[in-house]
């Protein structure tokens, strides 16, 4: 039995300019739904959320909601008021008679989100303000809770707490997030915004890739069939129209309309399936295996008459080709570690050695290197040249911007006109044009859409320099790094070979990781070990090129998918062997026949892909 309907939108149109953002938009939200709202940057996700809250008026169509329904919205932009405490901000939308009843919940949520209830909102960092906004949305407990990138600026520990909280949440949730693991863990339905329409999947985000690919393949087949039909009509029209026969004249006009519509639909399909496609990063070189060394490094800060320890006699060697993921709570020392590596911060004790030949490309999550008044062209080409050097080749600025899904006509737009995701894409474009021997990315996934994330994962999987990533995106870390440094706070740093999943397995005691994590403490053995090791200068032996982490995972999963499809094909064939099937249920017969054809096509594609990946692996 379907759960009660809370909100419905039918045949809606929203227009900001001459071209509508949405046209004939229809969707329903039911009680208890956990919806992932997915779509490219600019697809209209924020507009759809405003339609749900009622802030966005419809130019046409109907919006209905159940009487008494409450809606809460965690927005990206929160403007704090002067002299307002965190506690006052969280309670600002709560009725006076309910505040005493909900005060206990404020304590629970504020503590979990690491918020000081008495802190002034205007003195909080951007990440803390976001957490205060999340706390208010959770305490209000509306019937429909809208979350826009709720995991931005959250630690992994807090993200996991939030997952548990939302899974027990009594209301309905609609969430926009770039964090694939987070969406997979909390959703049971997907709203896919694609070219002004909503496509609804009755299953959670865990199955989104397979479902969306199936829809795109089906659309591609339909376009191909239409193309053949239009070709036949064009061939007929080219023979000439017999004089004064209205039926034939009308047919020619219909052919022209069909041809124009097909042209528009094919262009829309190409835009929808467009991905960022760059050549692999090559040619990154270094002269030594060991590129940086921390030996007995200590660092602390004083704040409010308290000493905050960041590192205490911390030792580590970073080697050429290392792929290190850094995670930990805010304030645990991640940024300080990076600044010391970059030479922007001195240690209180110990020594830090970085090879002179070492060069850094640094992605700063705060975007301090972006001047709001610079144009996109100036960011990529400070001298104003039309062509820039991209990994040793000359590229036109407009063409390179197009690689990162920017409209070339925006080349003279200023940085301040861009969204957060677009600014991150612009920074990535600048850094990846010529990455240095060490690439440092500080929270690169914030505000990026999933297509850009896929591109970034693929590019990084083929980068052969030293890679250091600070991120709380679990799937992204699993796809890109081979070692984790976890800053646990109070100068405690743990290391683990593998990605985030390996680290989590160790933390939860589920299984032994490939290498036992070690706490970096002041030990004589560590000192003797480091002192006895020489820094080799010779070039390491060349290794055979391996599949990327993403392709390895795909190869591992394909046999299971092939087996499921073979079983599916067998079931459809079994149904069609019934001689009375068509007679008793013609529609059902045609439906099963279509499903059988689709399943066979998908099975063939999976088998070919498996053979392709096996060949790549053996090569």
Q: Under a CB-based contact definition with an 8 Å cutoff, are residues 9 and 61 in contact?
A: yes
Decide if pLDDT at 236 tops 80: no
**Domain extents for the chain?**
5-210, 211-273, 285-359+436-543, 370-435, 549-618
Choosing among 3.40.50.300, 3.40.50.11540, 2.70.98.20, 3.40.50.10260, the CATH entry for 5-210 is: 3.40.50.300
Highest mean pLDDT among 9-23, 184-198, 447-461: 184-198
Decide if pLDDT at 539 tops 60: no
Give bridge partners of residue 169 from the DSSP assignment: none
3-state secondary structure 120-168: EHHHCCHHHHHHHHHHHHHHHCCCEEEEECCCCCCCHHHHHHHHHHHHC
Give the sign of the dihedral formed by CA 457, CA 458, CA 459, CA 461. Answer: positive
pLDDT given at position 535: 40
Reported as type and span, the H/E element at residue 321 is: none
| More confident position, 368 or 243 | 368
Q: Cα(294)–Cα(276) distance, rounded to whole angstroms?
A: 37
Closest C-alpha to 367, from 437, 442, 450: 442
Q: Helices (DSSP H) in 2-95: which residue ranges? A: 45-53, 86-90
Choosing among 1.10.287.380, 1.10.260.40, 3.50.50.60, 3.40.50.300, the CATH entry for 549-618 is: 1.10.287.380
Give bridge partners of residue 176 from the DSSP assignment: 148
Residue whose token pair is 């991905």: 275
Same fold across 5-210 and 549-618 = no
Decide if pLDDT at 279 tops 60: no
- Residue 293 CA, distance from chain mean position: 32
For 335, phi then psi, to 5°, come to: -65, -35
Closest C-alpha to 486, from 352, 377, 322, 324: 324
Closest C-alpha to 313, from 534, 488, 523: 523
Q: Cα(229)–Cα(567) distance, rounded to whole angstroms?
A: 34
Kindly give the pairing relationship between strand 492-497 and strand 483-489.
antiparallel
| More confident position, 212 or 256 | 212
Decide if pLDDT at 240 tops 80: no
pLDDT in tens, 28-45: 999 999 999 998 877 788
Q: Give CA torsion, residues 241, 243, 244, 250, to 10 deg.
A: 0
Q: Cα(435)–Cα(465) distance, rounded to whole angstroms?
A: 9
Give the pLDDT band of residue 612 (cuts 50, 70, 90).
Answer: confident
Give the pLDDT band of residue 256 (cuts 50, 70, 90).
Answer: low
pLDDT given at position 280: 46
Tokens of 111: 């503590």
Give bridge partners of residue 311 from the DSSP assignment: 299
Dihedral class, residue 153 (left if φ above 0, else alpha if ψ from -120 to 50, else beta): left
Closest C-alpha to 499, from 476, 522, 517: 476
Q: Report the predicted TM-score, pTM, of the whole model to 2 decimal places.
A: 0.62
What does CATH list as the number for 285-359+436-543?
A: 3.40.50.300
pLDDT in tens, 541-554: 444 445 666 677 77
pLDDT given at position 286: 41
pLDDT in tens, 304-358: 677 888 899 999 989 888 899 998 887 788 888 999 999 999 999 999 999 888 8
| Cβ-based burial of 328 (10 A; exposed 0-12, middle 13-18, buried ≥19) | buried
pLDDT in tens, 161-183: 899 999 999 899 999 988 889 99
Residue whose token pair is 């006699």: 313
DSSP E strands in 187-289: the ranges are 189-194, 197-201
Q: Under a CB-based contact definition with an 8 Å cutoff, are residues 205 and 180 in contact?
A: yes
Q: Under a CB-based contact definition with an 8 Å cutoff, are residues 502 and 513 in contact?
A: yes
Closest C-alpha to 404, from 276, 513, 495, 233: 276
Q: Cα(129)–Cα(85) distance, rounded to whole angstroms?
A: 11
Question: In the sheet where 306-319 sits, what is the strand order?
Answer: 306-319, 290-303, 349-354
User: What Å distances lie between residue 422 and 236, 362, 370, CA to CA?
Assistant: 48, 18, 12
Q: Under a CB-based contact definition with an 8 Å cutoff, are residues 500 and 325 in contact?
A: yes
pLDDT in tens, 567-609: 888 888 778 777 677 677 877 877 887 788 778 878 877 777 7
User: What Å distances lie between residue 64 and 27, 235, 472, CA to CA?
Assistant: 11, 49, 38
Give the sign of the dihedral formed by CA 98, CA 104, CA 109, CA 110. Answer: positive
Lowest mean pLDDT among 202-206, 308-312, 531-535: 531-535
pLDDT in tens, 468-527: 999 888 888 888 888 899 898 888 888 888 888 888 888 776 444 444 444 444 444 444
pLDDT in tens, 56-98: 899 999 999 999 899 988 876 777 788 888 888 888 877 777 7
For range 47-51, the mean pLDDT:
91
Percent over 70 (pLDDT), the chain: 82
Task: Give 82-102 as a DSSP string.
Answer: TT-BHHHHHTTTS-HHHHHHH
For 15, phi then psi, to 5°, come to: -130, 125
User: What Å distances lie between residue 99 and 121, 125, 329, 414, 477, CA to CA?
Assistant: 19, 26, 30, 45, 41
pLDDT given at position 585: 80
pLDDT given at position 5: 92
């Amino acid at each position: 039995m379907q759960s009660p309907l809370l909100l419905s939108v039918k045949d809606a149109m929203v227009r900001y300019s001459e071209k509508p953002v949405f046209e004939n938009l229809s969707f329903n939200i039911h009680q208890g739904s956990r919806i992932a709202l997915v779509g490219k940057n600019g697809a209209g996700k924020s507009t759809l959320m405003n339609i749900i809250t009622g802030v966005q008026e419809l130019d046409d169509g109907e919006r209905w909601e159940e009487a008494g329904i409450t809606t809460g919205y965690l927005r990206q932009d929160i403007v704090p008021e002067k002299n307002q405490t965190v506690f006052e901000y969280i309670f600002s939308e709560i009725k006076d008679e309910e505040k005493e009843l909900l005060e206990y919940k404020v304590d629970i949520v504020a503590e979990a989100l690491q918020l000081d209830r008495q802190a002034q909102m205007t003195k909080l960092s951007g990440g803390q303000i976001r957490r205060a906004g999340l706390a208010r949305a959770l305490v209000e407990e509306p019937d429909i809770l809208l979350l826009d990138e709720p995991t931005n600026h959250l630690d992994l520990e807090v993200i996991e707490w939030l997952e548990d909280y939302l899974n027990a949440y009594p209301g309905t949730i609609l969430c926009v997030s770039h964090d694939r693991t987070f969406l997979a863990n909390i959703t049971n339905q997907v709203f896919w915004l694609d070219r002004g329409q909503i496509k609804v999947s009755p299953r959670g985000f865990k199955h989104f890739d397979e479902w969306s690919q199936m829809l795109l393949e089906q659309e591609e087949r339909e376009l191909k069939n239409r193309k053949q039909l239009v070709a036949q009509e064009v061939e007929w029209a080219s023979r000439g129209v017999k004089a004064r026969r209205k039926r034939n004249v009308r047919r020619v006009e219909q052919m022209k309309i069909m041809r124009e519509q097909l042209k528009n639909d094919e262009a829309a399909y190409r835009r929808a399936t467009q991905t960022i496609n760059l050549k692999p990063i090559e040619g990154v070189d270094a002269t030594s295996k060991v590129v940086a060394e921390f030996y007995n490094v200590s660092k602390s800060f004083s704040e409010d008459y308290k000493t905050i320890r960041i590192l205490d006699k911390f030792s580590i060697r970073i080697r050429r080709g290392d792929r290190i993921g850094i995670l930990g709570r805010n304030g645990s020392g991640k940024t300080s570690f990076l600044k010391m590596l970059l030479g922007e911060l001195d240690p209180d004790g110990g020594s830090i050695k970085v090879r002179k030949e070492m060069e850094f490309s640094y992605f700063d999550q705060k975007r301090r290197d972006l001047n709001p008044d610079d144009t996109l062209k100036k960011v990529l080409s400070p001298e104003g040249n039309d062509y820039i050097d991209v990994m040793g080749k000359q590229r036109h600025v407009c063409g390179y911007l197009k690689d990162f899904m920017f409209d070339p006509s925006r080349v003279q737009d200023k940085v301040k006109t861009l969204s957060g995701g677009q600014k991150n894409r612009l920074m990535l474009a600048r850094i990846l044009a010529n990455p240095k021997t060490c690439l440092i990315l500080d929270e690169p996934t914030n505000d990026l859409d999933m297509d850009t994330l896929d591109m970034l994962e693929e590019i990084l999987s083929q980068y052969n320099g030293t890679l250091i990533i600070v991120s709380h995106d679990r799937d992204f870390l699993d796809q890109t790094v081979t070692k984790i440094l976890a800053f646990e706070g109070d100068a405690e740093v743990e290391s683990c070979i593998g990605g985030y999943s390996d680290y989590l397995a160790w933390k939860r005691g589920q299984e032994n990781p490939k290498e036992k994590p070690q706490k970096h403490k002041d030990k004589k053995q560590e000192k003797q070990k480091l002192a006895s090791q020489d820094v080799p200068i010779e070039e390491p032996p060349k290794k055979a090129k391996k599949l990327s982490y993403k392709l390895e995972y795909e190869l591992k999963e394909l046999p299971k998918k092939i087996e499921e499809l073979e079983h599916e094909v067998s079931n459809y064939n079994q149904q069609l062997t019934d001689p009375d099937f068509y007679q008793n249920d013609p529609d059902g017969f045609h439906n099963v026949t279509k499903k059988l054809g689709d399943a066979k096509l998908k099975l063939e594609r999976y088998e070919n892909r498996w053979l392709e990946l096996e060949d790549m692996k053996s090569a």
